[in-house]
Amino acid sequence: MATYRAERSKKLPAILSREEILRILSCVHAPHYRAFLLTAYSCGLRLQEALYLDVGDIDSDRMLIYVHRGKGAKDRMVPLPPQTLEVLRNHWKSHRNLRLIFPVVGRGRKIAATTQSPMGKSSVQIAMKKAVRLAGVIKRSVHIHCLRHSYATHLLGEGVNLRVIQRYLGHSKIETTMVYLHLTRKGHDEAVEVINRIMGGLV
């Protein structure tokens, strides 16, 4: 006799609105952390991907970022918004490290120009947590990866093709990207409009 297992329920990730992200960024007082979080959101990067960005990964001619150390060792290219490029340029001028975009700063910024180590994972996580609290965002489980989830959901909500978002995020399976269909109101609002129009003449 066949047996069936109930699917393990999957929790939907926390999503931040654009206004919440702006509030959070405005509460990040250290410029290097602000530049990091803005880059992570505006390019849809994982924490590790953003930490290990190299100077050579920035293609300002084509306005792309090359992600060479993505999950599963899969390389990809993501669009680089002009405002993000400007932030990255100003941030780099503050340390002028020949390789790393986000080097560990150290006391007095003495080692930032020559270090081969990126900023610490825990330090940027603490900066994010503190900014979320100061911004008054009370959603559960808000962490740096929520910026990536929000990036995908905001693109989908504005009509960007799901396959394109899959490519930007570096997902190997479209099913992974499809979770964001549950997190945007675009399809829902359009469906409600159609339903209301069809059913409008019933009474």
Q: Which of 41, 151, 168, 180 is catalytic?
A: 180
In a domain, 38, yes or no: yes
Does residue 4 register a pLDDT over 50? no
Judge whether 1 lies within some domain.
no
Query: Does residue 200 lie in a domain region?
Result: no
pLDDT digits 0-9 by tens, 55-87: 999 999 999 999 986 565 578 999 999 999 999
- Which member of 68, 76, 145, 167 is catalytic? 145
Based on the residue annotation, tell me whether 148 is a catalytic residue of this protein: yes
Cα angle 178, 184, 187; round to 5: 85
Residue 161 to residue 155: CA distance in whole angstroms = 8
Total residue count of the chain as it appears in this document: 203
Q: Give per-residue pLDDT as tens, 9-38.
A: 467 788 999 999 999 999 999 999 999 999
Q: Residue 64: enclosing H or E segment and its boundaries?
A: strand 64-67
127 phi and psi angles, rounded to 5 deg: -60, -40
Extended strands (E) in 124-201: none
Query: 78 lies in a domain?
Result: yes
pTM summary value: 0.85
46 among known catalytic residues = yes
pLDDT digits (tens, 9 = 90+) for 126-169: 999 999 999 999 988 899 999 999 999 999 988 899 999 999 99
Catalytic residue, from 46, 91, 95, 154: name it: 46
Q: For tokens 């992600």, what's the residue?
A: 67
Query: Whose structure tokens read 């825990």?
Result: 122
In a domain, 34, yes or no: yes
Portion of the chain with pLDDT greater than 70, in percent = 86
- Domain of residue 48 covers 18-194
CATH number where 84 lies: 1.10.443.10
Provide the angle, in degrees to the nearest 10, between the axes of the packed helices 82-93 and 31-42: 150
| Annotated catalytic residue 34 | no
HEC sequence for 165-186: HHHHHCCCCHHHHHHHHHHCCH
Determine the 3-state secondary structure of 27 from DSSP. coil
The reply to whether 5 belongs to the active site is no
State CA 68 to chain mean position distance: 16
Q: Let me know if 180 is a catalytic residue.
A: yes
Mean pLDDT, the chain, as a whole number?
87
Task: Given the residues 32, 148, 149, 154, select the one marked as catalytic.
Answer: 148
Give the number of domains in the chain: 1
pLDDT grade, residue 106 (50/70/90)?
confident
18, 71, 186, 188: which one is catalytic? 71
Residue 41, token pair as written in the block: 């959101």
Would residue 132 count as lying in a domain? Answer: yes
User: How many angstroms separate the CA atoms of 95 and 32, rounded?
Assistant: 10
Q: Is residue 84 part of a domain?
A: yes
Nearest in space to 154 (alpha carbons), one of 26, 1, 20: 20
Does residue 199 sit within a domain?
A: no
What pLDDT shows up at residue 112?
87
